[in-house]
Structure formats: C-alpha cells, structure tokens
C-alpha cells in the first residue's frame, strides 16, 4: 500500500541553481543523500540510489554527461541516453529530486576553475585518460556545492574515481560522508556499466573474459600464487584468447595508494581496463591474502 502511494508521487525536477535552491529549501533540516550520475541508469546506479533512500531523509540524483571528463577521441558523442527510462526508474524508487543541469549552468562562458587531485590520479585510468579525473573532481565539487548533501554515494566499480572523491572530500574539508557501494554484476558476471549498451552481442560475450580473468586470478592467489607478474600474465592470456581485445592496463596494486605491487600480500586491488570494439570497459576485484 505504502509503495503504491510512493509510485504515484512524481519526482521533482530542476535544471537551474535557482530551481535547486527552491526545492532544497523545502528539505531544510533533513539529511540529504546525493547520487551523481551521467544517466542511462542500470542496477548499479539503482543500488546507490537505494542506499541513499535507506539512509537519508531525501535523495537527490543528478544526470549530467560531463563533457570535460571525456578526451577528444572518447565516447562523449555516443554516450547512451534514455531520460524517460531514467525518470521512470527514479520515480518508482521514490527519489525526491532530479537535477538535470544545462551545460551552461555547470560550465558558464569563461569558466576557468578546475580541481586537480594529485598522485592517485597518476595510475590506472588516470594514466591513459589524462584529464578524466580533473573533469570528474571539478564537476563533482560543483554538484556538491549546488546540492549541499550530507551523504554521497559512489560505486566501487569506479574504484579510482571513489579514491579521488574521498581524497577531494578530505583535502578540501567538505562536511560530507562518502558511502562506498559494492560493484553490481549481471548474472553472468559482467560488471554493470552504461557502456555495455554499446557492445554488440559478440563483444558482450567477449567482455565476459574480464570478470572471468579476475575470478581466475583470485583462484590462483588462493592456491598460493603471489607474484604480480605471473598473475598479470594469466589475466592477459585469458583476455587476449578472445580476438580484438585491446588491453589498456592490468594493475595489481595497493587499494589506497593505487601504487603497483610486486607480491600480493594483504588487501590488494586487481583492476583492469580493456577496449572491445569502440567500448572501453573496466572491472576490478579486491583480494585478501
Ligand atoms: O561515475 C560517473 O557517472 C561520473 O564520473 C560522475 C561521478 C557522475 C561525474 O561526472
């Protein structure tokens, strides 16, 4: 009964900072949870939304495909988009407010201020996508300033992004609690991503080698292999057994500093990025020694 009533409540929508202020004023004195997204929402995003709904009084979601985090030859122009579907999902989940800013609201004419998080951005995706995390940190700080949340929710699928946001929040004394939400997989193991939608059915099948190579590596570690070079080689062999796979990186590293390690000892992050056709997919797992 309660959930039936909830489904009838239309989500509030705002696209300017003025509209945001008006709606946020009506939330005054309550805990605001915030989930920033680039849209084309899947179960991974919805797990962030559910966590916010569970822990906060009001939940705000933003949809903004942030142009400055894409490089010149990346997939900004083909980034999937389904606003109606997204609104339907957010409405039936019971989200209070959708912020969908116009580009000029976030990047007005003459925009000159950027946020740069050092060191942890030198590894993994930061290495092959220069400018990615400067773009992410800049837009996320702007969104935090507009939404003014007490709680924010990010998925562990983008492990390095989460590390960047946590560092940003700590270094700039933002009074915000960052919630880490586990990666969500399809039933066959593929990590959920909006970019999966651009895979052909053949590519999608090949993409399973990412999660499977991570499972193999975990298995090898549990059987006593600790040399990172050996583990990386077996991940590489598993992935390149499929044709047309272009490995960007396979990293075995410290989960906090993201520095490469040579031997798996204690908590370790295995992360990878692979280009399949025109899609670049990432996946990761944590292994405990
Ligand atoms: O993870 C994403 O969808 C984006 O990087 C984010 C955090 C919304 C910033 O544009």
Residue ending a domain, among 148, 181, 214, is 181
Nearest to 23 by CA among 125, 100, 113: 100
Residues with Cβ within 6 A of ligand 1?
36-38, 66, 69, 136, 139-140, 158, 161
Q: 28 catalytic, yes or no?
A: no
For the chain, what is the domain count? 2
- Ligand 1 centroid to 131 CA: how many Å? 14
pLDDT number for residue 288: 87
Out of 45, 123, 151, 179, the active site residue is 45
Look at ligand 1, atom 6, and give the residue with the nearest C-alpha.
37
Is residue 89 located within the same domain as residue 30? yes
Query: Which ligand 1 atom is at minimum distance from the Cα of 155?
Result: 1
Domain membership of residue 266 as a residue range: 194-287
Q: 129 CA distance to ligand 1 centroid (A)? A: 14
Note whether residue 189 is domain-resident.
no
Question: How far, in Å, from the CA of 155 to the mean position of ligand 1?
Answer: 10
Question: Using CA positions, which residue lies closest to atom 9 of ligand 1?
Answer: 136
Phi, psi of 139 (to 5 degrees): -70, -40
Q: What is the pLDDT along the chain (289 residues), one digit of tens a residue?
A: 444 444 457 899 999 999 999 999 999 989 999 999 999 999 999 999 999 999 999 999 999 999 999 999 899 999 999 999 999 999 999 999 999 999 999 999 999 999 999 999 999 999 999 999 999 999 999 999 999 999 999 999 999 999 999 999 999 999 999 999 999 999 999 999 999 999 999 999 999 999 999 999 999 999 999 999 999 999 999 999 999 999 999 999 999 999 999 999 999 999 999 999 999 999 999 998 7
Over residues 21-35, the pLDDT tens digits come to: 999 999 998 999 999
**pTM for the complete prediction?**
0.96
Instruction: State the burial class of residue 75 (Cβ atoms within 10 Å of its Cβ: 0-12, 13-18, 19+).
Output: middle
- For residue 94, being part of any structural domain is answered with yes
142 with 242, same domain? Answer: no
Q: Which residues contact 251 (CB under 8 A, 6 or more apart)?
A: 123, 124, 258, 260, 269, 270, 271, 272
| Residue nearest atom 8 in ligand 1 by C-alpha distance | 37
Please provide the DSSP assignment of the chain as one string.
Answer: -HHHHHHHSPPEEE-SHHHHHHHHHHTTTS-EEEEEE-S---HHHHHHHHHHHHH-SEEEEEE---GGGS-TTSSGGG----HHHHHHHHHHHT--EEE---HHHHS-TT--------SGGGSHHHHHSTTHHHHHHHHHHHHHHHH--SEEEEEGGGHHHHHHHHHHHHHTT---EEEEE---B-TTSPBP-GGGGG--HHHHHHHHHHHHHHHHHHHHHHTT--BHHHHHHHHHHHHHTSTTEEEEEEEEE-TTT--B-SB--SSEEEEEEEEETTEEEEEEEEE--
Q: Residue with the nearest Cα to atom 3 of ligand 1?
A: 37
185 C-alpha to ligand 1 centroid (Å): 18
CATH code for the domain of 275: 3.30.1300.10
Which of 147, 146, 126, 161 has the alpha carbon at shortest distance from 52?
147
C-alpha of residue 113 to centroid of ligand 1, in Å: 18
The reply to whether 10 and 141 lie within a common domain is yes
Instruction: Tell whether 9 and 90 lie within a shared domain.
Output: yes
In a domain, 36, yes or no: yes
What was the pLDDT predicted at 10?
86
Residues 40 and 130 in one domain: yes
Probe ligand 1: pick from 35, 36, 41, 101, max atoms within 8 Å of CB? 36
CATH value at residue 137: 3.40.50.620
Q: Do 16 and 159 share a structural domain? A: yes
Q: Ligand 1, atom 1: nearest CA belongs to which residue?
A: 37
Q: In ligand 1, which atom is closest to the CA atom of 36?
A: 8
**Cβ(124)–Cβ(273) under 8 Å?**
yes
Q: State whether 37 and 118 are in the same domain.
A: yes
CB 247 within 8 A of CB 155: no
């Amino acid at each position: 009964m309660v959930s039936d009533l909830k489904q009838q409540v239309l989500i509030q929508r705002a696209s300017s900072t003025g509209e945001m202020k008006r709606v946020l004023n009506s939330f005054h004195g309550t805990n605001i949870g915030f989930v920033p997204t680039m849209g084309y929402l899947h179960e991974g995003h919805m797990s962030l939304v559910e966590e916010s709904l569970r822990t906060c009084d009001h939940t705000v979601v933003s949809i903004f495909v942030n142009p400055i985090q894409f490089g010149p030859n990346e997939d900004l122009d083909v980034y999937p988009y389904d606003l109606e579907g997204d609104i339907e999902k957010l409405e039936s989940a019971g989200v209070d407010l959708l912020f969908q800013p116009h580009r000029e609201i976030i990047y007005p004419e003459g925009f000159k201020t950027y946020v740069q998080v050092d060191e942890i951005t030198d590894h993994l995706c930061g290495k092959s996508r220069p400018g990615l995390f400067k773009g992410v940190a800049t837009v996320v700080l702007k969104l935090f300033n507009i939404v003014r949340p007490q709680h924010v929710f990010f998925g562990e699928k983008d492990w390095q992004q989460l590390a960047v946001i946590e560092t940003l929040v700590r270094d700039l004394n933002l009074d915000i609690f960052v919630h880490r939400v586990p990666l969500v997989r399809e039933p066959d193991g593929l990590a959920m991503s909006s970019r999966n939608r651009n895979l052909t059915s053949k590519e999608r099948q090949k993409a399973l080698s990412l999660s499977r190579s991570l499972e193999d590596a975990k298995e090898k570690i549990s059987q006593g292999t600790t040399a990172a070079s050996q583990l990386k080689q077996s991940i590489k062999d598993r992935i390149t057994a499929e044709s047309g796979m272009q490995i960007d990186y396979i990293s075995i590293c410290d989960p906090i500093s993201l520095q490469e390690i040579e031997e798996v000892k204690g908590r370790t992050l295995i992360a990878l990025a692979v280009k399949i056709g025109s899609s670049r997919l990432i996946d990761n797992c944590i292994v405990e020694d």
